[in-house]
Amino acid sequence: MNTPSSPLYNPLTLPNGAILKNRLVMAPMTTCCGFYDGTVTDNLIEYYRQRAGSIGTVIVECGFVDTMGPAFPGAIGIHNDDCIEGLSLLAAAIKEQGSKAIIQIYHGGRMVEPQLIGGQTPKAPSAIAIPRPNATVPVAMSAGEVEDMIIKFGDAARRAIAAGFDGIEIHGANTYLIQQFFSPHANQRQDKWGGSRENRTRFPLAVLEISRQMAQEHANKEFIIGYRFSPEELEVPGITFEDSLFLLDKLAQTGLDYVHFSMAATLRPSIIDTDDETPLIDKYIQQRSAALAKVPVIGVGNVINKADAETAMAHGYDLVAAGRACVAYPDWADRIQQYDDLQLSMNSDQRTELCIPEPLWRFPLIHSMVREINTKKFHAGTYQQTVSDDYENKFVINVELGQDFIKDMSLINAEELDHVSVRNFNEIKERILAANSPYVDAISGATSQCDAFKKAVTKAISTSYKVASIVEGGDGDDKTCDVVVVGSGGAGLAAAIEAHDKGASVVIIEKMPIAGGNTNKASAGMNAAETLFQQQAGITDHKEWFYNETLKGGKNKNNPELLHYFVEHAPAAINWLDAKGIRLNNLTTTGGMSVDRTHRPNNGAAVGGFLISGLLKNINERGIELMLDTSVTDIELKDGRINAVIVNDEDGNEQRISTKAIIVATGGFGANAQMVTHYRPDLANFVTTNHKGATGSGIALLQKIGAGTVDMNEIQIHPTVEQKTAYLISESIRGGGAILVSRHGKRFVNELDTRDKVSNSIIALTDHYAYILFDEQIRQENKAADTYIGKGLAVQADSLVGLAEKLDINPETLSNTVERYNRFVEQQHDEDFGRTTGMRHPLNQPSFYAIPIAPGIHHTMGGVTINTNTEVLDTNAQVIKGAYAAGEVAGGVHGGNRIGGNAIADIIIFGIQAGDQAAAYAKDL
């Protein structure tokens, strides 16, 4: 039995006079369980309450300081004063138990995924992407935006004080925005915020200075300000350990209460000089300046038992933080006094007992600690797997399994690989064997390779399960559920959520490696009439208007019953999303609509990424299984009813899933050039805005079991598509006030006429292309524009004359065109083309932007025939029992032309209906 005489339990006085009762700290760890708006949840408060008390200090996970800053779903915010109330409850819960409460403040910068910020392009010091495949190129912050960001960090510090926290930790680590400003890789600015190492310290110093200013004005002298840092970067050029010491010395001279290493292990050596095995903390103690020596230092990483923490202190750390250990053991600080051999593991039925929020429980870092109870056993043996990383390196791996544990791993082709790959394999192997799970942390800078190694283990386990099932007399390729949803776009995800909530067991099958489908690309919004948000905005609208305008836009070819259902249920679908934390309360208009009924995120962002992010959060909260890289190859019928689906994974492994109902939501066939030209030869060689998975596979599947089709030759081309990238320029830009001009600088069409008419007008131009022209005000009101600018699609100038020169257009002609349009806006009467909507303000606010566009294949209105219950009908218009379809895979709703904003409405309205009907059908069987 240990005694509490360890130095871990000695108090520590910080430079500002604050006293920490012991040297133990709960490390900040993402829980991913904030509300959609960043406010804290009750289960988050209780999670921290249970872990406070015996531990001296609790550092709460990072709060984003700006709406463009969350780096992960379910992040908590400290970005506006509305957050203070919830944060105060969180701080109080920690302090009432006797621990100090500190909160991190951060901004993700270029680490932010566009789908987390409504499809917008992230902001960063420079327009340089993270060095990883398919990373988004961020928008470089202007000097003014840098100054504003510093103020936002200051405001965050003020809010932390107002909420009652004992301190803040400035998050300058993990390659987030503050670290990006200091990094010579991420920051290649030429102004005072970049260039020399001295200049690159300006931003973190400014954040510290404004935080100290806020503390002096609003807090007592014992308000704690710490700084977390990553000591090195793998990028070239990147931050070196010497660079970090330089920055930390500057921060210490300004005034800090502690510094916090961000590493996977307290005694980790350099990740750059791999031949030097000296722990960085030892170098830090030897090389730190006199000013820095007065600042306490926190170590973190692989601290589980008391001996780990004492060893860390023996190397020079003043405080020791534990992350996963505090998750597994809420009373960790007490427990390590009594036990010498704590294990990072939890039984699968302990989540509620340990007060762990559901999203955190499913986080890979935590899931790797979960031990299944009463689970099926492996079939012991060795399973060889061949896997590849993103750089096409192949790894042949033998995975040896015992009956209930991963026994060993070996890299068979190690001699063919470089020493770094072998080293990475050995490190991941140790983590996997220690955790008895493939769900372990990747090695920094080697994520793709680590994912390949982990994938070999998951494939081996899957194979062993099948073998075990066969040995026991079962079918190793069979599984069962009530409803199979095929496709993970908006329709499929909405259907899965609704079916689950109505009591059905659900599995989602997605043939692509990521979820979202074409919905990820949607940018305009979701149409609905007579909604609560319209009423709140004072907009008069009627479902009858919506019906008639959609019918007119569809050339009177729409199925009346489907269209009536669509219009009547659109407001309820808006409310359904809102109840799921997906609020679309910003209103605009699209071509063919007479009023603002296109609902989108409050900040005017593209709707697609926002929608998919919100729906996936709901999928994860419900624990609905989503099988990626898996294709449905066949649908089985028995006695005229759906009985099973046959699926193939990416390696060609076949599996049978018994089911009572299937919902096909695979989208249209706009990316299948052969299928498009079969029905519309005139569209040969047109670019397509569709993602590569939109091949019509769902239509073909349903046709094999007798489904009928309708309107297959009705294929829509979108007028504003950038031709080199096939990137769609949202109709919301024109709805926000943009105009179209020919290469001669003249308007030629009502920009908000229906898509077919605008497209035909562009095709009729001599050069068959045009420019969409907008100003800074439209950019600010329509955040999708940031994406286009960030991707380099737009030509930009400070004046119309300058823009005309860049476009090789006569400056006088373009200026006269814009001046004439501005006069129409003031009169609210377009004398030339009869435009009546989207004339919101004159185009007169620099900068000015132009994007070259021409039509591209966008939407296939035709598909399988369904009724208002979303039941699939056969070629004789009879119901195929158990088969449902929703979204672009089904025809009839849009007729001969789809109105912008109606696709999102379609997928949500009929996705909900399909989920509801399929669940009810399965329940009745």
The domain segmentation of the chain, as residue ranges, is 7-367, 376-471, 481-714+861-924, 715-857
Report, as an integer, the average pLDDT of 909-915.
98
pLDDT at 83: 94
What separation in angstroms does the CA of 57 have from each of 32, 288, 297, 631?
21, 25, 14, 49
Which helix (H) or strand (E) segment holds residue 167: the answer is: strand 167-172
What gap in Å lies between CA 730 and CA 653, rounded to an integer? 40
Residue with tokens 């948000």: 533
Task: Report the half-sphere exposure of 117 (CA within 13 A, side-chain side).
Answer: 26
| Contact present, 363 and 32 (Cβ < 8 Å) | yes
CATH number of 481-714+861-924: 3.50.50.60
What gap in Å lies between CA 665 and CA 912, rounded to an integer? 12
What separation in angstroms does the CA of 588 have from each of 329, 848, 900?
50, 21, 11
Query: Was domain 376-471 assigned CATH 3.90.1010.20?
Result: yes
pLDDT at 472: 63
Interior/surface letters 661-679, b for 16+ CB within 10 angstroms, e for the rest? bbbbbbbbbbbbbebbeee
Per-residue confidence band for 469, with pLDDT thresholds at 50, 70 and 90: low
| Contact present, 663 and 886 (Cβ < 8 Å) | yes
What gap in Å lies between CA 84 and CA 63, rounded to an integer? 12
| Contact present, 555 and 897 (Cβ < 8 Å) | yes
Per-residue confidence band for 206, with pLDDT thresholds at 50, 70 and 90: very high
φ, ψ of residue 476 in degrees (nearest 5): -65, -15
Q: Which CATH architecture has domain 715-857?
A: Alpha-Beta Complex (3.90)
What gap in Å lies between CA 183 and CA 225, rounded to an integer? 22
Q: Decide: helix, strand or coil at residue 861.
A: coil
According to DSSP H, which parts of 164-260 are helical? 177-182, 197-200, 202-218, 241-254
What gap in Å lies between CA 914 and CA 925, rounded to an integer? 17
pLDDT at 815: 97
Pairing state of beta strands 848-860 and 715-722?
antiparallel
**What distance, in Å, lies between the first and last C-alpha atoms of the chain?**
60
Which helix (H) or strand (E) segment holds residue 394: the answer is: strand 394-401
Burial zone of 471 (CB within 10 Å; 0-12 exposed, 13-18 middle, 19+ buried)? exposed
Taking alpha carbons only, the member of 183, 182, 179 closest to residue 170 is: 179
Per-residue confidence band for 2, with pLDDT thresholds at 50, 70 and 90: very low
Q: Which CATH architecture has domain 7-367?
A: Alpha-Beta Barrel (3.20)
Strands (E), 604-653: 625-627, 630-638, 641-649
Is pTM, for the whole model, over 0.85? no
What gap in Å lies between CA 625 and CA 619, rounded to an integer? 8
What are the pLDDT digits (tens) for 217-238? 999 999 999 999 999 998 889 9
Side chain identity at 848, as an amino acid letter? F
Between 680 and 368, the higher pLDDT residue: 680
Residues 6+ apart with CB under 8 A from 201: 182, 246, 247, 250
What are the pLDDT digits (tens) for 374-400? 345 778 899 999 988 877 889 999 999
When mean pLDDT is compared across 281-290, 414-423, 509-518, the lowest value belongs to 509-518
pLDDT at 375: 46
Q: Is the pLDDT of residue 371 over 70?
A: no
pLDDT at 373: 45
Kindly report the CA angle at 33 between 31 and 36, in degrees rounded to 5?
A: 135
| Contact present, 919 and 481 (Cβ < 8 Å) | no
What are the pLDDT digits (tens) for 581-596? 899 999 999 888 999 9
| Contact present, 514 and 637 (Cβ < 8 Å) | no
Q: Is the pLDDT of residue 133 over 80?
A: no
pLDDT at 729: 93
Report, as an integer, the average pLDDT of 833-847.
95
Token digits for 854?
Answer: 């021409």
Q: Is the pLDDT of residue 34 over 90?
A: no
Between 605 and 34, the higher pLDDT residue: 34
Helical axes 84-95 vs 143-162, angle rounded to 10°: 50
Looking at residue 183, the DSSP 8-state letter turns out to be -
Report, as an integer, the average pLDDT of 732-754.
95
Report, as an integer, the average pLDDT of 117-131.
90
pLDDT at 440: 63
Between 355 and 625, the higher pLDDT residue: 355
Query: Chain-wide mean pLDDT for the chain?
Result: 91
pLDDT at 620: 73
In total, the chain counts a number of residues equal to 925
Residues 6+ apart with CB under 8 A from 839: 737, 824, 825, 828, 830
Taking alpha carbons only, the member of 357, 331, 336, 320 closest to residue 98 is: 331
pLDDT at 343: 81
Token digits for 366?
Answer: 């935590």
Burial zone of 358 (CB within 10 Å; 0-12 exposed, 13-18 middle, 19+ buried)? middle
What are the pLDDT digits (tens) for 554-582? 999 999 999 999 999 999 999 999 999 89
Per-residue confidence band for 474, with pLDDT thresholds at 50, 70 and 90: low
Pairing state of beta strands 848-860 and 795-797?
antiparallel
Which residue numbers are catalytic? 755
